[in-house]
Chain A
Amino acid sequence: MTALSRRRAVDHPPLLRIVRDQLSANRWYIHILLWIAVIFMGFPLFYAALVSTQNNAQMFRLQMIPGNSFSFNLQTVLDRNIARLMFNTFAVATMVTLGKVVLSIFSGMALVYFRFPGKSLVFGFILAALMVPGEVTIIALFRLVALELGWGNTWTALVVPAVASPTGVFLFRQHFASITPELSEAAQLDGAGPLQFLLRVLLPLSRNTVTALVVIMFIGAWNSYLWPLLIVTNPDLQVIQVGLSTLDDGVEIGRTWGPIMLGAVIASIPPIAIFVLMQKQFLQGFALTRHK
């Protein structure tokens, strides 16, 4: 990333320096330790990929080479409509991310570039929402959404409560506040309205922040589990995280692990791909959200 790397000292006695550089050139022992950690960490996932090619008999033998059931497993998950589950998750995560970002940009801008009565009150209201722990109010939220609003088994129930997040508003407020005020002055002198300023000046300037937050919000939304588990019972509307355990072929007694693990592998591909492709943005978004 930035130039945070450590500098080497330059004024050592030559002999000492040579010895030190020799010893530390590669620090091979660190690499070995790290590799051990990766093998430990990576083995379960490698194993999931392995099982996704096997049948139950091969899996219970702990066979460490790919089995011959990949196409069967693939057929099973396709029959169990994994495409639908993946599409649902993708659609819901996209809507959540889009909703969050758009709302946050507008409210962040209002908090920085307008003068209106009760502003600090509004900001305090948003800040305080950061303190309300979401998980422990889940019963009340469930009753509100399912019983009073009657949104049970709809995407509305998956998307709208998730969009209600103070984090984005706060982050965009901070971001806009850090942009030099001369820009808005210039825009006003040139006769630009707030919307024009937002679209022509603010957004192009904030491209990095927006992308970073989009990446982190999307991955977060993709991985959500508890809320969909509670509010959606219709398999046609369900998301992949909850649907994984239904990918069983339903024939054998007990679970058939091959299809389930294949589903698990497929469910992990989008977030990993996004992370690998947009590493920088992910790390930046992570730093932002941890900073709130």
Chain B
Amino acid sequence: MTQKSKPMPSAKTEPSRWKLRSGFVPIYVPFLFLIPALLLLLSFRYIPAVSAIFHSFTYWNIPEPGEFIGLQNYQALIDDPIFIKSLGNILKYMVGRTALVLVMAFVGAELVYNLTSDRWRNIWRMVFTIPMVIPFTVNLLVWQQVYAGRQGMLNEFLTGIGAMARPYPWLGRPDTALPALIFIGFPAVAGFGFLIILAALQNLSSEVNDAALIDGCSRLRRVFAIDLPAIRGPLALILILSLNQGMQEFAPMLVMTQGGPINTTMSPAYYLYIQGFTYGKHGYASAIGAVLMLMTLVLSMFILRMRYRRAYDVAV
């Protein structure tokens, strides 16, 4: 199941093809195989992307067709305090969320890795994978209850143990709303980060661990001195994937806070949604999309470069 060093097939090792001569297979057959997929990709991936970039330079409100206005949308974006604020918010969200996910996934994976029985390791891995398949709408609904101001679970718990005198509206106050969104799903152990890190740990050679043990290296020290450096590739991958995902985050904002209070949880992607679908300002929204696309592309380049340099190997 390890996908490690499967070489990209070069021209030399390629399977011999159905020859297109001697009437065996007509030339149109491969195109027949490919055209449905290519047409779909063209229509629903490339055309919308090009159209979004093009229309970010137009005034494109429903139902008028676009009217070219140059950089005015971008000009307006720079002067839009809500958009600027959303950039700051998403930066905090990305950093906070990524740090939380990375640390907790690593701790969880280390714990499971250090179990001595294979059976238990598999059981725990399964338990910690289940949250990945639960619809996030369900998760968000439940966490709305956790944070609710009156009779919310968190409030009841904190007032119950005497840590707080009064219930606090976590999602309703500017200073706690964004952190509350970051901590959704706490302790955030489960997820793709956990799976990738655990797999990376299990791929480490046991000789190194045994040697460390014989040399009297404590388990905790081994975690920092051996495990952590050895899996830095997968960690970097998770870091970038998580940042990339955080950049485009909008569902928690849409479902739980609608960007409020006072725009402290406004994210660019949710702002795009509001501008496009609430106000019908499609040109303006496309400009937000273009900025987001540019930022995601920069991150994606990092991912590609890491892949190219084989900075990580992932197997589950």
A residues within 8 Å of B by Cβ?
1-2, 4-9, 12, 20, 24-27, 30-31, 33-34, 37-38, 40-41, 43-45, 47-48, 51, 59-62, 103-104, 106-107, 109-116, 122, 125-126, 129, 131-145, 147, 160-161, 163-164, 166, 169, 174, 177-181, 183-185, 188, 193-194, 219, 222-223, 225-226, 230, 241-242, 244, 257, 260-261, 264-265, 267-268, 271-272, 274-276, 279, 282-284, 286-288, 290-291
User: Do A284 and B116 touch (CB < 8 A)?
Assistant: no
Can you list, as one digit per residue, whether each of B268-300 has a CB less than 8 Å from chain A (1) or not (0)? 010011001100001001101110110011001
> Please, which residue of chain B has its CB at the minimum distance from the CB of A36?
B187
Residues in B whose Cβ lies below 8 Å from that of A6: 202, 206, 209
> Please, which residue of chain A has its CB at the minimum distance from the CB of B31?
A116
User: Do B41 and A290 touch (CB < 8 A)?
Assistant: no
User: Do B20 and A184 touch (CB < 8 A)?
Assistant: no
Residues in A whose Cβ lies below 8 Å from that of B120: 31
User: Do A143 and B282 touch (CB < 8 A)?
Assistant: yes
User: Do B133 and A274 touch (CB < 8 A)?
Assistant: yes
In the complex, identify which listed stretch (B86-94, B142-150, B168-176) lies at the interface while the others stay far away: B142-150
Residues in A whose Cβ lies below 8 Å from that of B136: 223, 225
User: Do B34 and A110 touch (CB < 8 A)?
Assistant: yes
User: Do B145 and A125 touch (CB < 8 A)?
Assistant: no
Interface size class of B (residues with CB under 8 A): 35 or more
23 contacts between A and B (CB under 8 A): A4-B203, A7-B206, A30-B114, A34-B111, A48-B138, A103-B37, A103-B40, A113-B15, A113-B17, A116-B27, A126-B37, A129-B41, A133-B292, A138-B289, A139-B286, A140-B48, A141-B44, A142-B277, A144-B48, A164-B45, A178-B9, A286-B195, A290-B316
Given contacts A27-B114, A30-B111, A225-B251, contact A1 B156 (CB under 8 A): no
User: Do B48 and A137 touch (CB < 8 A)?
Assistant: yes
Inter-chain contact count A-B, CB under 8 Å?
Answer: 302
CA distance A12 to B210 in the complex (A): 10
- Top 9 A-B pairs ranked by shortest CB distance? A181-B15, A164-B40, A110-B33, A114-B30, A9-B210, A164-B44, A287-B316, A140-B48, A44-B142
Question: Is there a chain A Cβ closer than 8 Å to B51's Cβ?
Answer: yes
In the complex, identify which listed stretch (B77-85, B95-103, B121-129, B258-266) lies at the interface while the others stay far away: B121-129
User: Do B138 and A5 touch (CB < 8 A)?
Assistant: no
Residues in A whose Cβ lies below 8 Å from that of B134: 45, 268, 271-272
Given contacts A144-B48, A184-B15, A222-B135, contact A116 B189 (CB under 8 A): no
Question: Smallest distance from the beta carbon of B273 to chain A beta carbons, Å?
Answer: 8
Residues in B whose Cβ lies below 8 Å from that of A284: 1, 316
Question: Is there a chain A Cβ closer than 8 Å to B248's Cβ?
Answer: yes
Residues in A whose Cβ lies below 8 Å from that of B14: 112, 177, 181
Question: Is there a chain A Cβ closer than 8 Å to B25's Cβ?
Answer: yes
Residues in A whose Cβ lies below 8 Å from that of B150: 60
CA distance A60 to B118 in the complex (A): 43
Partner of A48, one of B6, B63, B142: B142
Partner of A264, one of B63, B108, B138, B214: B138
Partner of A129, one of B9, B45, B128: B45
User: Do A181 and B296 touch (CB < 8 A)?
Assistant: no
